[in-house]
Amino acid sequence: MKPPAVCLLSGGLDSAVCLAWARREGFACYALSFDYGQRHRIELEAAARVAAALGAERHMVARIGLDAFGGSALTAAMPVPKGRSGEEMSTGIPVTYVPARNTIFLSNALAWAEVLESADLVIGVNALDYSGYPDCRPEYIAAFEHMANLATRAGVEGRTRVRIHAPLLHLTKAEIVRLGAALGVPFGLTHSCYDPAPDGRPCGVCDACLLRRKGFEEAGIVDR
Amino acid sequence: MKPPAVCLLSGGLDSAVCLAWARREGFACYALSFDYGQRHRIELEAAARVAAALGAERHMVARIGLDAFGGSALTAAMPVPKGRSGEEMSTGIPVTYVPARNTIFLSNALAWAEVLESADLVIGVNALDYSGYPDCRPEYIAAFEHMANLATRAGVEGRTRVRIHAPLLHLTKAEIVRLGAALGVPFGLTHSCYDPAPDGRPCGVCDACLLRRKGFEEAGIVDR
């Protein structure tokens, strides 16, 4: 029987590549998405499509009240930056940073993993393009893993060791696109835009759209 | 101006004592409770009463879908243990343990703290009576604090240092009761029972009820 892994799945490109990666690594994948009041809520439909296409055992959407805290352009009434250069994107912490988001996501994944008796969590964080996000850095992931091993039943009983897999951590966007292509990720089902039109079409000019386009261009692969 | 602190507030005895402690320490207290599908949901009414009585700046109840994961007698259709001896309570991890609960609670507190520009989180964990809960141990709290300092904007920018305050960590229940009495905690407003009657009356025989009664008896203080 395949060991279970909880895979965070946003509906975007990176987490779709992670899910395909986890399947190839031999995990039975439990995909976890969050409805947290994000303005690009349409990504949850993409997540459901991706989970089905990539053969997840289950797909759960957990509702969490992250928007109650505010403080981010992704959940509050603040404008999403548009048309920024690569240099601008890599300077400082962007307003699209959601306070403690990855910590809350991973904590929920840890809860589900404990119930599933899984020791493996998979997250699509990336330290290159998202260098401005504190919770996308390798030292953060290592600290979460250490904490997780003290937080849970399994850790106390010494039965198993929780591992946080971040297979994209050190890849460029072009490398992520190439890995996704090699793993057969259906790119056309994924959604990246922070500020989509009501019908779901990407804006084309937010950081997420710009990074995505650049990644496909550099990889020499068509985004479909 | 008083520095802000996010205080986890369940509506039970311990977190009420923590809130009173934080006020005495000079913090402006932002009380945070969770509606997570707990069967003793009535504790949320107690939390609101306690927050008001102890002068919290705000009281927020965050809805989180913890019950979706299952795995605990507090959220799933599993019986709550009754009439256990102290020895039974301190052996192994009880079925009332909720997977990764404190990690999810603290992660949400961290998000709110970041928005409030607060560096102080207060949690009423206790390593003596809850020795069976992995996420009530000092080494867990230290690991969470370390992770939190890498997870957030403030940690990256080196502006401040997140501290997790757990003032009850090494106290017995009787010592907690005495501290609460000294701080003027309105005990009668708090709720401890895991399995209350529909009108809110405590069952008197679950672990939480038994520990509470023992604590007041040993402290020589009347529970009201």
Task: Find the CB nearest B100 among A62, A114, A140.
Answer: A114
Cross-sheet strand order for the sheet of B58-63: B58-63, B28-35, B4-8, B120-122, B163-165
What pLDDT score does A33 carry?
Answer: 95
Q: Taking CB atoms and an 8 Å limit, are A143 and B139 in contact across chains?
A: no
Task: Grade residue A93 by pLDDT with cuts at 50, 70 and 90.
Answer: low
Residue type, A34: F
CB contacts of A38 in chain B (<8 Å) are: none
Residue B67 confidence (pLDDT) above 90: no
Query: Average pLDDT of chain A?
Result: 88
Q: What is the DSSP letter of A222?
A: -
Q: Taking CB atoms and an 8 Å limit, are B108 and A104 in contact across chains?
A: yes
**Highest mean pLDDT of the ranges B92-101, B115-124, B154-163:** B115-124
Task: Grade residue B36 by pLDDT with cuts at 50, 70 and 90.
Answer: confident
A216, A224 in Cβ contact below 8 A?
A: no
Q: What is the DSSP letter of B194?
A: S
What pLDDT score does B64 carry?
Answer: 85
Q: Which residues contact A170 (CB under 8 A, 6 or more apart)?
A: A127, A128, A138
Please compute, for residue A223, the number of CA atoms within 13 A of its CA located in the half-sphere on the CB side.
Answer: 22
B152, B121 in Cβ contact below 8 A?
A: no
The structure tokens 């009664």 sit at B213
Which residues of A touch chain B, with CB atoms under 8 Å apart?
60, 62-66, 68-71, 93, 97-104, 107-108, 110-112, 114-115, 134-135, 137, 139-140, 143-144, 146-148, 150-153, 155-157
- Give A15-72 pLDDT, tens digit per residue: 999 999 999 999 999 999 999 877 778 899 999 999 999 999 999 999 887 777 876 6
Count of C-beta atoms within a 10 Å radius of residue B131: 15
CB contacts of A131 in chain B (<8 Å) are: none
B122, B163 in Cβ contact below 8 A?
A: no
Structure tokens at A168: 């994209």
What pLDDT score does B189 carry?
Answer: 96
The H or E element that residue B149 is part of is: helix B138-151
The structure tokens 């964990």 sit at B125
A173, B194 in Cβ contact below 8 A?
A: no
Q: Taking CB atoms and an 8 Å limit, are A140 and B151 in contact across chains?
A: yes
Q: Taking CB atoms and an 8 Å limit, are A60 and B66 in contact across chains?
A: no
A30, A112 in Cβ contact below 8 A?
A: yes
Q: Taking CB atoms and an 8 Å limit, are B100 and A111 in contact across chains?
A: yes
What pLDDT score does A67 carry?
Answer: 74
Residue type, A132: G
Domain boundaries, chain A: 4-219
Q: Identify the sign of the CA torsion B46, B52, B53, B56.
A: positive
CB contacts of A69 in chain B (<8 Å) are: 108, 111-112, 114-115
The answer to whether domain B4-219 has CATH 3.40.50.800 is no
CB contacts of A62 in chain B (<8 Å) are: 64-65, 68
Interface pTM, i.e. ipTM:
0.88
Indicate the pTM of the whole model.
Answer: 0.90
Cross-sheet strand order for the sheet of A163-165: A58-63, A28-35, A4-8, A120-122, A163-165
What pLDDT score does A127 carry?
Answer: 83
